[in-house]
Structure 1
Amino acid sequence: MLAITLGTLAYMAPAASVQRLRLGYFPRCCLLILVMIPGIGREVNGAQRWLPLGVITLQPSEFAKLAVLLYAAGYLVRQEEAVRHHWSGLAKLIAILSVVAALLLLEPDFGATVIIVGVVVGMTFLAGAKLVYVLAMLAAAAMALAFLVLSAPYRMKRLTAYQDPWADPFGSGFQLVQSLIAFGQGEWWGLGWVTASRSFLFAEAHTDFVFSIWSEETGLIGATAMIALFVMLIARVLNIGWRAAAQQRLFEAYVCFGAALMFAGQAFVNMGASSGLLPTKV
């Protein structure tokens, strides 16, 4: 119900009004600070990423993703010439992105950080920034993320467990092993709705391993259908973005590009981690 309400309001909001709300995006990012204040944020599994609000719990990083996406779209429109021809045109955007990324890493939420950085870098490329600038941003982000992984023992442990989960099937590799078993048990047509035998074994079955549960219940056919639906959604959003760009409605175009990249990134990370193609979230 909340999603439908917010979606309806977003649909009704004029794009020009959304574009003008530059400073309105920052309170959403400030929610990232609230979750780290003792007594306000809720800690789950060693990470303090949630804000309890009565019967619901919010994850501020989701609001931060949207805020950064909208801000980046507006910035790329306002600084179009500078972004395309000068490195200095990207400086302010990179600075804001770095602050948000730092707040996310303090929670810590490594996965959300990767998604947000990837989306903004992709948007700058689609906005016409020089390839050398985009590659420099990617290289800097890759080095920073590699340092974060290497400097945290628990992240390194998850990375090595992903490479061979069967080496410790009841310890560090437990989640991935159960996920792979779920895929196998689903076979072609699945076990049926609400019959997944692995759902009670995952720490976060409804989020990090939801694709595993879906595949166990609906089989290879259902998993393939889910991937196809995501591909169709992303292609549709990109198509709308290209059409908006052709009409010089650049803000709408960049929002579409960012949304498509976000959908693609989150789907790829979730499906890749649950199927063993990527490490589980670190």
Structure 2
Amino acid sequence: MPSAEARWRRELPDPLLLAAMVALLGLGLVMVYSSSAALAAEEVGSSFHVVARQAVYVLLGLGVGAGCALAPPALWRRLAPFALLAGLVALVLVLIPGIGVRVGGAARWLDLGPVQVQVSEPFKIAFILYLGGYLVRKGEARLGTFAHGLLPILVISGLSAALLLLEPDFGGAAMVVGTGLVMGFLGGIRLRHLLAAALAALPLAAWAVFGSAYRYQRVVAFLDPWADPQDSGFQLRQSLIAFGRGEYSGVGLGDSIQKLFYLPEPHTDFLFAVIGEELGLIGTLTVLALYGLLVQRGFAIAERAGDAYGRLVAQGITFILGFQALAHMGVNLGLLPTKGLTLPLMSYGGSSLVTTLAALGILASIDRHRGRVGGADPAGARGDGGRGAIPAGAGAAA
């Protein structure tokens, strides 16, 4: 029987995960204010307008995250099919004129009275919760076959990606498909099936990029942003100028020039560029280290989950958070084509922030209830060396 102290410590959130989350939230509020103050003062007459809304989203997200942490993972497993169905219905609703809210040429939001919800954000978490349950139900033997293993995942991922592309949201579609393939591999689906599916999807991916004029322009601008510096290459060029001005230690908090109507969406899609300009290489490496710690703790929680479902969901949540953070940074640094992706926990946006905190709450729930969720292990969560286990060292601090 564990001691009372051991049980008490187990009920607390992972301290390093909590520290990384709080640090990113705090720095995010500071940088959202710094990057939005001039724009907010110009448009609504108050430099605190954007950061005040972000602070409300932080409080709401912390409440939702705390609720998710208190709920047992078994509840998420039971609700996952209904959440996925509701998410698919929401992805259809945003495409219907008069129901979905179109902003900047994209129909991604539902108007729920006082708030607008970007439905792709909670859908990603619902997808992970469902996929974890699916992989556990099938078991290793059935996952080894194409019909019972990869095919259903391809159908669900493909349908979800198609709806996201219609919004259009290419980044969201890529994250859903990528998460599905990674979780499938970790859950026990054969690697040759995954590689065959990836090769077969290459022509579809090429069509999605080159069959759209604006996506094609983004690829051209990514390859040479100075070829058309005032149009297709404008965003990336301004972002690179911001990093160049920041050098090692930055120009100083609040002293960015690029955020002053040069850099598009400095408080959302290009927040990392403002960090690079104001805080320099030191600031960007600090942010990168905080996300690295967040990801390491997520995988540590997955390693000690003690059951298949908790392990797979923790791995899926950790992967998608880390992937989105790296994608945002990659776009800002010119390593990836320009795409509107927020920086998790830091960029302005209620849907993204509340969903991310809910996902971290689910991670905390898995950690609190480790070994008590149940479910057969499709690929080695019993510690027998299966591919689902995290490599040695990833959870050394667990």
Scaled by the length of structure 2, the TM-score of the pair is 0.67
Matched, 1:164 2:220: no
| Bigger Cα displacement from structure 2, 106-115 vs 209-218 | 209-218
Task: Indicate the SS of the match to 1:49.
Answer: strand
Check conservation: 2:221, 2:228, Cα contact below 8 A. yes
* Alignment match, 1:242: 303
1:227 to 256, 271, 288: 288
How far apart, CA to CA, are the structure 2 residues paired with 1:42 and 1:152?
22
Task: Indicate the SS of the match to 1:276.
Answer: coil
Q: 1:58 corresponds to which letter in structure 2?
A: V
Structure 1: gaps of 5 or more residues: none
2:117 to 58, 62, 78: 58
The CA RMSD over aligned residues, in Å, is 1.5
| Bigger Cα displacement from structure 2, 235-244 vs 81-90 | 81-90
Matched, 1:20 2:81: no
How far apart, CA to CA, are the structure 2 residues paired with 1:85 and 1:187?
51
Check conservation: 1:76, 1:83, Cα contact below 8 A. no
What is the deviation of 1:268?
1.5
- Deviation digits for residues 113-165 of structure 1 (CA, Å, limit 9, x no counterpart): 00111011001111122110121232233332111111112111110111010
Check conservation: 1:198, 1:213, Cα contact below 8 A. yes
Task: Indicate the SS of the match to 1:51.
Answer: strand
Structure having greater relative contact order (Cα 8 Å, sep ≥ 6): 2
How far apart, CA to CA, are the structure 2 residues paired with 1:194 and 1:68?
39
Check conservation: 2:80, 2:126, Cα contact below 8 A. no
Check conservation: 2:242, 2:276, Cα contact below 8 A. yes
Structure 2: gaps of 5 or more residues: 1-58, 341-398
* Alignment match, 2:138: 79
Q: 1:74 corresponds to which letter in structure 2?
A: G
How far apart, CA to CA, are the structure 1 residues paired with 2:274 and 2:88?
32
Matched, 1:149 2:214: no
Check conservation: 2:135, 2:143, Cα contact below 8 A. no
Task: Indicate the SS of the match to 1:48.
Answer: strand
Q: 1:93 corresponds to which letter in structure 2?
A: I
What is the deviation of 1:9?
1.2
1:98 to 158, 180, 189: 158
Task: Indicate the SS of the match to 2:97.
Answer: coil
Task: Say which one has the larger Rg.
Answer: 2
| Bigger Cα displacement from structure 2, 235-244 vs 164-173 | 235-244
| Bigger Cα displacement from structure 2, 47-56 vs 143-152 | 47-56
Matched, 1:202 2:202: no
| Bigger Cα displacement from structure 2, 181-190 vs 105-114 | 181-190
Q: 1:5 to 1:235 in 2, by over 3 A?
A: same
Task: Indicate the SS of the match to 1:43.
Answer: strand
Task: Indicate the SS of the match to 1:191.
Answer: coil
After TM superposition, where is structure 1 displaced by more than 6 Å over at least 4 residues in a row? Answer: none
Q: How many percent of aligned residue pairs carry the same amino acid?
A: 43
How far apart, CA to CA, are the structure 1 residues paired with 2:205 and 2:234?
25
Check conservation: 1:32, 1:61, Cα contact below 8 A. yes
How far apart, CA to CA, are the structure 2 residues paired with 1:279 and 1:83?
38
Matched, 1:211 2:272: yes
- Deviation digits for residues 36-65 of structure 1 (CA, Å, limit 9, x no counterpart): 121222212211112233443211000111
How far apart, CA to CA, are the structure 2 residues paired with 1:83 and 1:227?
39
How far apart, CA to CA, are the structure 2 residues paired with 1:239 and 1:74?
20
* Alignment match, 1:37: 96
How far apart, CA to CA, are the structure 2 residues paired with 1:192 and 1:5?
33
What is the deviation of 1:4?
0.9
Q: 2:283 corresponds to which letter in structure 1?
A: G
* Alignment match, 1:192: 252
Q: 1:82 to 1:100 in 2, by over 3 A?
A: farther
Q: 1:3 to 1:46 in 2, by over 3 A?
A: same
What is the deviation of 1:271?
0.5
How far apart, CA to CA, are the structure 2 residues paired with 1:22 and 1:52?
24
Check conservation: 1:185, 1:216, Cα contact below 8 A. yes
Check conservation: 1:29, 1:67, Cα contact below 8 A. no
Check conservation: 1:48, 1:107, Cα contact below 8 A. yes
Q: 1:263 corresponds to which letter in structure 2?
A: L
Q: 1:220 to 1:20 in 2, by over 3 A?
A: same
| Bigger Cα displacement from structure 2, 205-214 vs 81-90 | 81-90
* Alignment match, 1:280: 338
Structure with the bigger percentage of helix:
1
Q: What is the number of equivalent residue pairs in this alignment?
A: 279
What is the deviation of 1:206?
2.1
